[in-house]
Amino acid sequence: MSFGTGLHVMLALAYNPGVRMPSATLAESVGANPVTVRRVIADLAAAGLVDTQTGPGGGATLARSARRITVANIHEAFGEPAFIEGHHKDPVGKCEVSVCMPRVIDRLNHAVAKKAAPVLRGTTLQALVDEEIRS
C-alpha cells in the first residue's frame, strides 16, 4: 500500500509548508513505522518530490510547491500501480484463455489508466489540502 502511505506523507508535508518533518513524526501521523515511512520517502525522493536532510533539524520537505505536485506525480513515484490486478501463476496446460489472460488484464488496466490519468493529473496536493483537510 505504498501509494496510500506516500500520499499521506505528501499531504502531511503540504499541510506543514516549509517545515522539515522527521520520519518519526510522519510515522506517527501515518500510523506506521518510521522505517516504513523512510522507505516510502525514498521512492518520493527518487521521483524528485521531496527533499531530505540528515542530522538535527533534518527530515523531509516538499521539493516544490504543493500547487505543482499532482496525485499523478505521486502515483508515478510508486511505479504507476495497476488499477486492475490479475494473478501471476502460469497455468500448466496450453489453455488459450489462460495464455491470453495477461493481455486481457493489461487491456483493461490500460483503458482505465487512460481515463484516470486526467483526474490524477488534475488533482494537486494543494487542492486536497484546501478542499479536504482545511475545511
Point out which residues bind DNA (CB under 7 A): 1-2, 5, 22-24, 31-36, 38-39, 41-42, 45, 52-60, 87, 89
Query: Can you read off the three cell numbers belonging to residue 48?
Result: 524528485
- Is residue 83 involved in binding its own copies (CB under 8 A)? yes
Cβ atoms of 13 and 5 closer than 8 Å: no
**One-letter amino acid for residue 10 of the chain:** M
Stretch that binds its own copies, among 39-47, 50-58, 59-67, 88-96 (CB under 8 A): 88-96
Task: Residue 84: name its binding partner from its own copies, DNA, none (Cβ under 5 to 8 Å by kind).
Answer: its own copies
Among 79, 104, 121, 130, binds its own copies (CB under 8 A): 104
Angstrom distance (rounded) from CA 8 to CA 125 = 10
Beta bridge partners of 60: 21, 52
